[in-house]
Structure 1
Amino acid sequence: MSRVPLLLGLFMGFVFVGVAFAAAATATAKFDELFQPSWALDHFIHEGDLLKLKLDNYSGAGFVSKSKYMFGKVTVQLKLVEGDSAGTVTAFYMSSEGPNHNEFDFEFLGNTTGEPYSVQTNVYVNGVGNREQRLNLWFDPTKDFHSYSFFWNQRQVIFLVDETPIRVHTNMEHKGIPFPKDQAMGVYSSIWNADDWATQGGRVKTDWSHAPFIATYKAFEINACECPTVSSKSVEDLVKRCSSSSSDGKKYWWDEPNLGVLSLHQSHQLMWVRAKHMVYDYCSDTARFPVMPVECVHHSHTKVVGKN
């Protein structure tokens, strides 16, 4: 599915922490410190520490991080479009460049008033996507701010909502399955019109009488390894730079052994999300995939730490 830019970032230095994702020492940053508009500057609204992106029948808007990153955690707090938001998509994602890019997506799909808000996630590895999962959020994301995060290292990628894992993509290179660990990615966010597919498969169109549609952001956080935007270093050098296998011997917090798998508590949270809130999983879509994708077989047996 087509998408337009979205998101945020900051280099916090290489911070050591010993426990879980939330334990990483982070601080929020102002938008201008981390990002820059990528299109439709006249659809940006700044109100103190809040950033609002506006969608009307002329344009949406988007922004991109000033730096690229490999391994760590990226978070934004977001309040989604209120009321009738059918046809709209607010996207928050990370992506590298080129046809063989890697990408992690949150896509918040607009709805008609009274329906649950759904979020679609996707993972691209070496340019191959079509790995959508969709769930209905267990709260109203239009009434208050909630945090949405990507955590990734050489062993797993985790999508988190208010620190609750909603999706895990584990490294199974030993089984011949590519894993997104060799490309630095920018952070993006955008709001745009996608009424050809976003709401009830495109059956409900955008009602422009309700425009402008506003998505509101605050508290941009990135605790990740910053990579040069233009670099003569090889892929191997960049991976080593951002991992504990680097020549300087530093131990980066995202490489702590306990962050290579979910804790028991996190595993239970993920199972709850899948059982109670998931409404679509490509792994179960036999029409699209008559033969189950090989990663689905292995992801059904998620590794967990014995103690939380």
Structure 2
Amino acid sequence: MSPSVPVKIILGTHTVGSKSEHPGIVHFDTAEEVRALLDAFYSRGHRELDTARNYPGSEERLGLAGAPSRFLVHTKVRDGAGTTHPHEPAQIAQSIDKSLSDLGTASVETMYLHVPDRTTPFEDTARAIDEGFRQGKYKRFGLSNYSEEEVQRFLDICEEKGYVKPSLFQGHYNPLVRGNEKALFPLLRKHDIAFYAYSPAAAGIFRSDADKYKTARWKDDNQIGAIYSAMYGKPAVAEAVDVVRDAAEKHGISGHAAALRWTAFHSILDGKYGDGIIFGVSNLNQLKQTLDAIDAGPLPAELAKAIDSVWTVVDGQGPPYYI
């Protein structure tokens, strides 16, 4: 079943930044490379970018390219790798100001809390986020990678204190990651919180050359690679991937494109709630292929049903939807 309103399409820019700091992850570093990426995305009619303080050099390069003048920019407070209390109010304020400075703008569309800081009281974190919102530094406040229990705690605190409430949630979601449908999505719908899905095609695992792709991206020697290796390395996941690839092949569609189209057109996501999908690319041809796949629209009913059924294979064994 297709969404009643198309989902939003957001370009993730974790591949924009410093190649020297993130070799193998970053692919757009120079001013020319970044401008070419943004121009190509813009020319296809899309106007939203996702970045983060933790993406080395991403915000700075987007700022130099004038991205905030053409796109709605969603960014995230530093999650504080190596920091004891990353969401302590002073740390949040510093991260927000640095993001705005690097982006070259006085305000962004959304400021997320990237990953829960469970060492700092949520009350302190919510107060700091509210202060930035009231200062006009962002129009919306979002949560990313929180459990439904933690989202509820934030909502309760914001309601009690009169703080700005989260209106956007960014989370892991695709044919293999659907545990959030049971409890998180009903909570989000109840409170008018939109959902932006990252890894909508499961980080490339459905590609025909997935073994080569995983070798390059999922190395255990970097944080992102280690996370994806742990998430998608289980036998039940491999079995589900084979089911999708085989079903897609019968329709002349790549497994990667089929997974992406399922998330955009046949999942719980719906543009009427403000939902969207976030994807990243490593080159301009991949950008074109991804957008072409999305523009192809819903899948054949038989294929959509086959992909929908793989959740029964991985339910309880698939990757978690929060960190």
The two structures have a TM-score, normalised by structure 1, of 0.29
Structure of higher RCO (CA pairs closer than 8 Å, 6+ residues apart): 1
Greater fraction of residues in helix: 2
Structure with the largest fraction of strand:
1
